Chain A
Amino acid sequence: AQRVTQPEKLLSVFKGAPVELKCNYSYSGSPELFWYVQYSRQRLQLLLRHISRESIKGFTADLNKGETSFHLKKPFAQEEDSAMYYCALSGGLSGFQKLVFGTGTRLLVSP
């Protein structure tokens, strides 16, 4: 079965501190992993996807198949990073695949 686990409900850090939001997944095949973000009073939006190997707003995430993890990292957190972050998994080839979401982690960056 497909499953995404985000162990932390809340992560509170000070501005400028490093951030790591944990995500572990369970999937028998080759998954596609995503991080979605929801800022206050805004809709859910894609932050980054593992196949792009990109850095968005200073965030990066590396897929570790051995540890079945896709942790989201940023070296220096900013106050505007405060939001709800969801790790999501999609199975199979790219296309109109269903997303399985983790329970989300609220990141709070204090000044």
Chain B
Amino acid sequence: GAVVSQHPSRVICKSGTSVKIECRSLDFQATTMFWYRQFPKQSLMLMATSNEGSKATYEQGVEKDKFLINHASLTLSTLTVTSAHPEDSSFYICSAPADPGLAGTFFLSTDTQYFGPGTRLTVL
């Protein structure tokens, strides 16, 4: 199967600090990963597309200097929330579609996104 992990699962930090969230595809490779944000009882809102080897693409209204994304390898993308404030408290979810031809993707559906379990961020 295709497993995407996120670390940490939950984090509490003080206002003004930075928090890094990792998203890993454990048994397949992905050149693209997506970062979503979900407020309580609301839908997932796409924040940005993480691209391995190039800059991330941010959705309209998402501050790229505040939400730094680094796609370090074909299995890892990180989201850093810089100078976090209470309004950044949310549930952050990543997903990765299987990149055809890369390792581990032969039996996966390439039009399916595989989601991580999410990271609950609370900024005090």
Contacts and interface: CB of A to CB of B under 8 A. Distances in A.
A binds B: yes
Interface of A: 32, 36, 42-46, 49, 51, 86, 90, 94-96, 98-104
Interface string B74-118: 000000000000000000010101010000000001111101111
B118 A98 contact: no
Q: How large is the interface on B (under 10, 10 to 19, 20 to 34, 35 or more residues)?
A: 20 to 34
A21 to B, nearest CB: 14
Interface of B: 4, 31-32, 34, 42-46, 49, 93, 95, 97, 99, 109-113, 115-118
A102 B111 contact: no
Contact of A46 (B32, B42, B113): B113
B73 to A, nearest CB: 17
B115 A45 contact: yes
Given A43-B118, A44-B93, A49 B43 contact: no
